Amino acid sequence: MEQSNPQGKLLIGADDCNNSNNESFNNVLSERLSRRDMMKMSAGLIGATMFGSFMSGCNDEATPLASSAAAAALLAFTPVAKNLNDVVTVADGYTAKVLYRLGDPIKVGISDYANDGTNTGDFESRSGDCHDGMTYFGLKSNNSGYDHNNSTNGLLCINHEYINQTYLHTVAEVAAINNASRVASQVDKEMAAHGVAVIQVSNSSTGFALDKTSKYNRRVTATTPMELRGAASGSAYTKTLYSTDGRATRGTVNNCANGYTPWGTYLTCEENWNGYFTADVRTGKELVAFNRYGLKTSSRYGWESVYPQWKATVSAADATADYRNVANTFGYNVEIDPFNPTSTPIKRTAMGRFAHEGAWPAKATAGKPVVFYMGDDSRGEYIYKYVSTQVWNPADANGGLATGSKYLDNGTLYVAKFNANGTGIWLKLDISEPAIATYATYAFADVSDVAIHTRIAADARGATKMDRPEWGGVHPTTGEVYMTLTNNSDRAKTGKPGLDEANPRYYADGSSKGNVNGHIIRWKESEPSATTFVWDIYLFGAQSAVDAGGDNAYYQANVNISGLTADNDFSSADGLWFSEATSGLMWIQTDDGAYTDTTNCMMLAALPGSVNDGATTAIKSLAVPTNVNADQTVTTRVGAKPTATKLKRFLVGPVECEITGIAETPDGKTIFVNVQHPGEDGTTTALTSNWPDGGTARPRSSTIVITKNDGGIVGS
Ligand code: FEO
Ligand code: CA
Ligand code: CA
Ligand code: CA
């Protein structure tokens, strides 16, 4: 999700925060001179039964999972057509059911959700809002601890990224919201509807269901106590009235995508956390830092009007007596042990502080470092990699948070530079690097300063400004890394980064300009801890046909560069995830606002090839008023165009939703998918979606369960 904050005012400057000078069009141009090498949910929804199937209108009655189904060829299903229906449409032969909706109770003794804004006081025992990244952890047969192979009984860790106030409160309450003086009970509900849920789910003849009696069921919210570990812990920058030694904080917010560790813990990643705080105008380094991280003088929800912990302002004699530093305790990856419901989550500051989309692990290899790839989702931000100092010992496979401290508190953080010639380099972010130690814009003091102000250190190293890095994934057989670049309305805008080979396209589509539909980049390393790579662009999002009146020949060559068809065209890839039960099935999920005149957001299945399997391609961008006033051509490497059997649309979601978050059982026969913010543009009195409950119900973000009716692998 990209957060807008129309009420907020940046301390200084515009609403994207990367004004560093690195990787401008001019220096990329000079580098190019040396290039040579290089349900059936098609259905009206039925009822509000908690695990109701949504299958009217088709014959895909749910069948029990067959255990003996052989894996058919992948992507054998018929593509789903684009549509604007207020349902989840899945490919023929598949069934989708709703598992877990906003407000659903996760504990016994909690009432059914009224879904009219009246539920209050018990949201710590209910599903939060805006379901996002998600991981399935199998349970051992004795219901204790991690079993990577259990496909019938497990824990789902689910992010609840943010809230839609419109549907969380009553009609009268929504009308009366005033960020300058919020009502405490409403703020309490909103804070409790954020964070993460851990829920136990078990399969039976009727499919997966939530077990409300489970001892593991738990909510982590915007008020849960957290430890800080790694370089930022105990620093002068993290001391607050709550934690005078700077080693703790309360809450996690805007938990977007996710990750998981080889030792059976969950990573939840703090994305647009800056919008939750009000800040004052500071001086010197603090002002540079606050602007670089987009802190503003007003907040998204006004929680600070009730609770001072959301006020990053100077109000007392020193930092241990107010919350001037509280924003420095957000922006991290947070590790949660789902198997230990009373454990305190830990913010792993060695993995850097930015708008963390997610953290995607390379395959763990004994004797090698543990590696995670990460994206910073804002316009013009960077791609990062964390490499642990300790090498992987398979004996740590069930070690919980103590093992996390071994691998995630000491390591090297790198940022990516994509060279024009198709090579790339991971630039180390360390105070010992001369470019960081002597950076004129910001005088780094020590390692904690670098850990907290990761973006500024990356500026100093000259990283490549990307078109909003979202999800990444590591191909299970090739080890190549894929990352979505969802879109960038700033690309080539006056005063913003120009084109480069890794971000080579701008154009107009209706009122949208820039890199409207986004692309997916990929790279190959000799091993995950390598400091160099080679890269190309796997896939460009685009509508398959030019809009009426457009120049189709130009469009197909320069916008629909990957040759998408009606069966697989998409816009703004966000989620990207490799099934582990198959050898290379990749899922792509969209969070789009450009092609939504034609279709709701969707999920596609892909079988990608490998880096440099395509052709060197010249891409011509035409002048777009308010972005650039001149045509430009960039020549870059584009992956082989996907054939009809290599990329297919599998699912289309309901009205105004985003499809985001995916997990699978280890056998690949069940996937869990999140439908976020259906009907997000509606109002309490004019709903635009009634999904999933139907009738006149308010829409609810939900987790759905998808199975193949013949019991086979999902995606076959
Ligand atoms: Fe929360 Fe970058 O999507
Ligand atoms: Ca969204
Ligand atoms: Ca996302
Ligand atoms: Ca269009």
Query: Among residues 225, 208, 222, 89, which one has the least CA distance to residue 156?
Result: 208
For residue 661, which ligand has an atom nearest its CA?
Answer: 3
Please compute the mean of the pLDDT values over residues 84-93 and round it to a whole number: 98
**Distance in Å, CA 511 to ligand 2 centroid:** 18
| pLDDT attached to residue 18 | 85
Question: In a 3-state reduction of DSSP, which class is residue 324?
Answer: coil
Ligand 1 atom closest to 591 (CA): 3
Give me the chain's average pLDDT, please. 92
CA pair distance 151, 156, nearest whole angstrom: 12
Amino acid letter, 442: Y
**Distance in Å, CA 470 to ligand 3 centroid:** 6
Q: What is the pTM for the complete model shown? A: 0.93
53-62, 113-122, 128-137: the lowest-pLDDT one: 53-62
- Closest residue CA from atom 1 of ligand 1: 1
**Distance in Å, CA 534 to ligand 2 centroid:** 31
Within 6 Å (CB) of ligand 1, which residues are found?
Answer: 1, 161, 256, 271, 357, 377, 470, 574
**Distance in Å, CA 507 to ligand 2 centroid:** 22
| pLDDT attached to residue 45 | 32
pLDDT greater than 90 at residue 562: yes
pLDDT tens track for 381-405 = 999 999 999 999 999 999 999 999 9
Ligand 1 atom closest to 132 (CA): 1
pLDDT greater than 70 at residue 434: yes
Q: What is the DSSP letter of 481?
A: E
33-47, 117-131, 446-460, 530-544: the lowest-pLDDT one: 33-47
Residue with tokens 């598949």: 94
| pLDDT attached to residue 12 | 62
- What backbone phi and psi angles, to 5 degrees, belong to 472? -125, 170
**Distance in Å, CA 4 to ligand 4 centroid:** 22
Please, which pLDDT band fits residue 16 given cuts at 50, 70 and 90? confident
Residue with tokens 């690309």: 491
Task: Yes or no: say if 364 and 370 are a contact pair by the CB < 8 Å rule.
Answer: yes
Alpha carbon separation from 700 to 20, 463, 654, 689 (Å, rounded): 40, 39, 11, 9
- Closest residue CA from atom 3 of ligand 1: 1
Ligand 1 atom closest to 161 (CA): 1
pLDDT tens track for 169-198 = 999 999 999 999 999 999 999 999 999 999
342: its two tokens: 């009373």
CA pair distance 437, 599, nearest whole angstrom: 49
Ligand 1 atom closest to 357 (CA): 2
**Distance in Å, CA 168 to ligand 3 centroid:** 21
| pLDDT attached to residue 208 | 98
**Distance in Å, CA 575 to ligand 3 centroid:** 6
* E strand segments, 209-254: 209-210, 218-220, 225-229, 248-250
For residue 598, which ligand has an atom nearest its CA?
Answer: 4
5: its two tokens: 């904050």
54: its two tokens: 């949504």
Task: Yes or no: say if 336 and 196 are a contact pair by the CB < 8 Å rule.
Answer: yes
**Long-range CB pairs of 206-210, under 8 A, 24+ apart, other chains included:** 206/51, 206/62, 207/51, 207/62, 207/97, 207/705, 207/707, 208/97, 208/99, 208/670, 208/672, 208/705, 209/50, 209/51, 209/99, 210/50, 210/99, 210/100, 210/104, 210/106
Ligand 1 atom closest to 377 (CA): 2
